Structures are given as C-alpha cells and as structure tokens.
Amino acid sequence: MMAAYGFLGDLSTWLLVLKYLGLCLAAGSSIWGTVNDLAIKGPNGERRLTKAGAAAIGFTALGLIISLVSEDLRRRQDSASHAAQFVAEAKRTNEIIISGQQLAGLSFRWEFTSRSAALRKAMDDGTKGQYENALTSQGGVPVTPFEVVDYEALLLPLISFVADPKNGLNATLPPPADAATEQVKQSEKKQGSTVVLMSLDASSNAILSFGSIGKDAEWASNTGDKIPSAGFAGESPKRNGDSLPQVVHPGKSPSPGTEFTYAISWDLDPGTLAGVVDRRNPEIAPTAKLPKVFKIAILNGGLVLPFQKFNFAVPAVTLWGKHQDAAVAKDDFVPDDVSNMKITLVVNGSEDVRYDYYLKRVSKIDLTDDDIDVDTECTMLEFEAN
C-alpha cells in the first residue's frame, strides 16, 4: 500500500499516466466516431447532435484538458529540476571553494540518546556540584575554577560513560564523604587520564584533543617543547584558547527509563582551534574538507599515554590505522545505554559546509605492542558522513 502511494505520489508517474490517458481518449474518441452517428438531420434539414456526438465532443474536450494539464506539469517539473540542479551546482561549487581553504574555525555537536539511570544520576550529581561550587564564589571567583568543575562534574563522566557504558562511570565517582579509609586509598591511587582525540583529515595528520591529563601520566617520549592543548581544563601552562567543550543534558528525569539526549558542543574560533590541534607534520595545515569517515579515539583510565609528550599527533603505537588487526575487538553499544549517536560539524562558520556523521562502528583497541606496554583503554568510534 505504501509502495503504491509512493509510486502515485511521484510527478513523473503522473505525467506518464496523463500521457497514455490522453492517447487512450484520442483513440477511444476516434473509434466512437467510427461506430456511431455523431449527428442526424432534423425535420427542417438541420443537423442535430446525437448523444454519441455529445460524448465524442466530451472525449475531445477531456483529452484537450488532459493535454494542457500534462504540458503544464511537465513544464513545472522541468523548471523545478533546473532550479534544483542550479542549487546543487552552486552548493557544490561553494563546497569546493570553502573546502580548499584552510580550516580556520569549527563548531561541533556530539550527541546520543540513553536510558541509563547511572548516567542520569551522574549528570544530576554533576549539576549539583556545579551549583555548590558557584555558591563559594567571592567576587566572581569560586574555590575551584568553573571550567575545572564543569570538566570533572559533567564532561569527564560523560566521556567515560561513552568509552565504557558498563564501568566507565565508576572511575569518575568520588569516594563516600564519610569513608576516611577510602579517602586515603584514593589519595594514594595514581591518577589516570581521560583523553578524546578527533582526526580532522584522512591521513590523521591533524588531531584535535581535549579531556583531562592525569598528574601521574607517563608519556612514550618526553622530547619536544610542547605544552598541553587548550582543550585540557586545569592544566597550567597550556596553549591559548577562548572556549572549552560544554555538556548539554536535560536535567533530572521525571521517571525511570526515560530516554534523554546528551551532547557535547564546542565552538572553536581560529585562535582556540589553533590551540587544540596537534599536527604530525607542522608544515601541512588542515583544510576545511573533512574526511568521509570521521574517527574519534577515547583513551580512558590508564597511566601510559603512548604519544610524544603533549603532542597527540605523534603516537608511539599504531592507532588510527588499526582497523582489521587482531588487536581490534568490535564492541557495539547496548541500545538502552547508547543509541542514535551522531556528530554535526560546521566548518569555518558556514552552514553551507556542514557535515552530519552517524556512528557506524565501535571498537576496543589494544595499544600495547612489542616496544611499549600500554595500560590505557582505547575505544575507537567511526562515523560516516550522511
């Protein structure tokens, strides 16, 4: 039924139907005139139209109307087709022009839906922590910087949940306030990292990074003089940047099991973008043409970061090219935990160059190789442009 509706709803189909209907009416009218008397002579010799003649005239008039309607519809279709082609060509030309430009600005929104009660509670607790920290503000300056609380209370739990929906939140939950022994254990425990890496080109030369680098992080190489990306809150010194990623969540749930949309959004102006992107080859600047397959790597929980210190574009292990390797395990999300994940990217402030990516593959990657033992878990998310 739906297939038939779709068939009849197409303008080209109606043009075809009207064309053959007109031919059928013309043929029918001709046959009708052949087998019937269309007019007779009256008593005074005048010609009178018979019922068959009136029907023939009706057929002819109906055929003319159908022909006129068909021609008008065809004209409209051609006009709409030419307009659509013009718009498509203009958009394609604009994309080529902008895509050939250097990547100067980027806005992204990374979102998914979830029914997880644990995630909902973590977000509610994080919001409460933000509020309590804001109450400590004196002259606009809180005890803990706003950006640090935002990261620790909302961003890091959300990233950790995406990296491991079953156990990721456990690493970000604070110890019970009345558990002194647990507090001591926590203080003695070495602090790992939660890092998000986004590959901005097909060759993975330009890597955007944000998250949290643990104070006990161990790097594969300490060479170089780089300082942390502007995407890492709480680091000092760090590269310049005017904004940080923000978590968007719906607040408290009215009832258990409600599906909510969670998102991370970030508007990066030229200065901030330069401060959060590492380049393996500094001579090659990222362009506004983003890859067809957009990859995000989440490194979570371990001490070892297998990269040149503060340069996530120079890994000491195979990372971005590890797809069909035996060390890769496919790891689909449970729909109630994570579903409908997508990323929207707007390049250089132009909605004409907008990329909508949808999640296609989730993998767990073992980063350990013969030269380095890596305790950090790595979740690779691969998105394809729509």
- Could you read off the pLDDT of 33-75 as tens digits, one per residue? 666 666 676 676 677 767 777 777 777 777 777 777 777 777 8
Predicted confidence band of residue 177 (pLDDT cuts 50, 70, 90): very low
Which residues neighbour 195 within 8 Å (Cβ) at sequence distance 6 or greater?
A: 209, 210, 211, 212, 213, 298, 299, 300, 305, 312
**Is the predicted pLDDT of residue 3 greater than 70, yes or no?**
no
Q: Which residues in 113-127 are b (16+ Cβ under 10 Å) and which e?
A: bbbbebbbebbeebb
pTM, full prediction: 0.73
Say how far apart CA 293 and CA 384 lie, in whole Å.
5
- Domain segments of the chain: what residues? 2-98, 103-385
- Does residue 300 or residue 251 have the better pLDDT? 300
From CA 303, how far away is CA 213, in angstroms rounded?
A: 9
pLDDT, tens digit (0-9, with 9 covering 90-100), for 81-140: 888 888 888 877 876 776 678 899 999 999 999 999 899 999 999 999 988 988 988 888
Angle at 206 between CA 204 and CA 207, to 5 degrees: 85
- Range with lowest mean pLDDT among 233-237, 254-258, 380-384: 254-258
pLDDT of residue 28: 72
The per-residue pLDDT for 182 is: 46
Query: What is the C-alpha separation between 329 and 379, in angstroms, rounded?
Result: 10
Q: Which pLDDT belongs to residue 38? A: 64
